[in-house]
């Protein structure tokens, strides 16, 4: 009865922690091995089998049949082995390995007392692994979260039960957040730390600007328009170089949108950051003139020489 009751406790806790059923069986096995090792100092000769559907827990301990027991965790007398398995009386002999079945009920109150604490610890570890594996695959994606805490050096954003960190240097300098604000940001990196996954997000990264345009301009996502390069001073001004692989489509016009609808969505998201969209060309002098707009080059020839010298 204790098997089924204990499993029900585990299943309920696992449901609260959003732990998969397949993982739960492994956790219960580890719990028993942990308790056995704590009690005897060794669990390598033990195995635990958990059947969640039937509510059964089976514990097996491999022992050596000896004449005199030195350590009852590893040794068993021939008389005791025959007593436990009378059908094997004629087959067992000294030196043989005997598998003893242990009743989980023998651990009594210690088991129940340790179960919840152990499960909480393991479920945290499992959850952290799930979070790490999930967000490692989402590096480079734009996420939407809710501001949870605002510190001087970091802003912490929550997505469900997961906390993400946005350092000050990954924020747009002119932005100020309050608890409860909904924000978009780019998943920039994920690292394993003793406290769990450190998920770093950014609103100042060039890739965030790229992704915003990709979300607003279907032609970019479809590969018809390419973003050749981005130069950005977050919160102030950005320049984006675009090129259309289809001569019938105007790359700049597609990015700007009808009456500026597409680019204005990006500008609003970036706290009114000024964005210049430049049409790419292989003609260096034309490209430089476009890239420097609204400034007008005075001596393009000398500027070209300086650029070439810097590249040599």
Residue 13 lies in a domain: yes
| Pairing, β 162-167 against β 46-51 | unpaired
pLDDT at 112: 62
The answer to whether residue 90 is domain-embedded is: yes
pLDDT at 308: 44
| 183 lies in the same domain as 269 | no
Query: Is residue 244 located within the same domain as residue 158?
Result: no
71 and 178, same domain (yes or no):
no
Collapse the DSSP code of 170 into the 3-class scheme (helix H, G, I; strand E, B; otherwise coil) and give the result: helix
Same domain flag for 110 and 28: yes
Q: What is the pLDDT of residue 113?
A: 66
Q: What is the pLDDT of residue 267?
A: 94
Which regions in the chain score pLDDT beneath 50? 1, 303, 305, 307-309, 311-312
User: 59: exposed, middle or buried (C-beta count within 10 Å: 0-12, 13-18, 19+)?
Assistant: buried
What's CA 100's distance to the chain center, in Å? 42
CB environment 129-154: b (16+ within 10 A), e (fewer): ebbbeebeeeeeebbebebeeeeeee
Strands 225-233, 274-279: pairing kind: unpaired
Same domain, 179 and 254: no
Of 101, 130, 159, which closes a domain? 130
Do 258 and 190 sit in the same domain of this protein? no
Same structural domain, 106 and 37: yes
pLDDT at 104: 79
User: Considering only CA atoms, which of 192, 188, 183 is closest in space to residue 200?
Assistant: 188
pLDDT value of residue 14: 72
Q: Please indicate, yes or no, whether residues 194 and 217 belong to a single structural domain of this protein.
A: no
Residue 83 belongs to some domain of the structure: yes
Cα→Cα distances 147→50, 155, 181, Å: 42, 7, 5
164 with 156: CB under 8 angstroms? yes
Partners of 243 in the beta sheet? 226
Q: What is the dihedral of CA 33, 34, 36, 42, to 10 degrees?
A: 90
Q: Which domain covers residue 177, as residue numbers?
A: 145-202
Domain co-membership, 37 together with 124: yes
Q: What is the pTM of this model?
A: 0.69
Residue 248 lies in a domain: yes
Look at residues 130, 157, 192 and tell me which one is the last residue of a structural domain. Answer: 130
Tell me, what CATH number does 93's domain have? 3.30.1480
User: In this structure, what CATH number is given to the domain that contains residue 171?
Assistant: 2.40.50.140
Structural domain count, the chain: 3
- 112 and 225 assigned to the same domain: no
CB atoms near residue 223 (< 10 Å): 9
């Amino acid at each position: 009865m204790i098997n089924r009751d204990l499993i029900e406790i585990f299943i309920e806790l696992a449901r609260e922690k959003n732990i998969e059923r397949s993982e739960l069986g492994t956790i219960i096995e580890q719990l028993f091995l942990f308790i056995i090792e704590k009690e005897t100092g060794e669990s390598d000769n033990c195995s635990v089998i958990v059947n969640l559907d039937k509510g059964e827990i089976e514990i097996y301990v491999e022992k050596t049949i000896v004449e005199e027991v030195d350590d009852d965790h590893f040794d068993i007398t021939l008389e005791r082995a025959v007593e436990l398995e009378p059908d094997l009386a004629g087959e067992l002999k000294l030196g043989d390995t005997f598998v003893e079945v242990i009743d989980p009920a023998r651990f009594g109150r210690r088991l129940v007392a340790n179960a919840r604490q152990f499960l909480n610890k393991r479920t945290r570890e499992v959850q952290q692994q799930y979070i790490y594996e999930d967000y490692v695959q989402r590096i480079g994606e734009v996420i939407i979260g809710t501001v949870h805490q605002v510190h001087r050096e970091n802003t912490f954003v929550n997505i469900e039960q997961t906390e993400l960190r946005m350092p000050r240097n990954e924020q747009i300098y002119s932005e100020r957040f309050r608890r409860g604000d909904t924000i978009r940001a780019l998943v920039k990196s994920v690292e394993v730390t003793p406290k769990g996954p450190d998920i770093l997000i950014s609103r100042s990264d060039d890739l965030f600007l790229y992704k915003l345009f990709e979300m607003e301009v279907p032609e970019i996502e479809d590969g018809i328009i390419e973003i050749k390069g981005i130069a950005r001073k977050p919160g102030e001004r950005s320049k984006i170089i675009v090129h259309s692989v289809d001569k019938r489509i105007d790359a700049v016009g597609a990015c700007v949108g009808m009456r500026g609808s597409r680019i204005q969505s990006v500008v609003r998201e970036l706290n009114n950051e000024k964005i210049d969209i430049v049409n790419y060309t292989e003609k260096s002098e034309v490209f430089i003139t476009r890239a420097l707009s609204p400034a007008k080059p005075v001596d393009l020839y000398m500027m070209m020489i300086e650029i070439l010298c810097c590249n040599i």
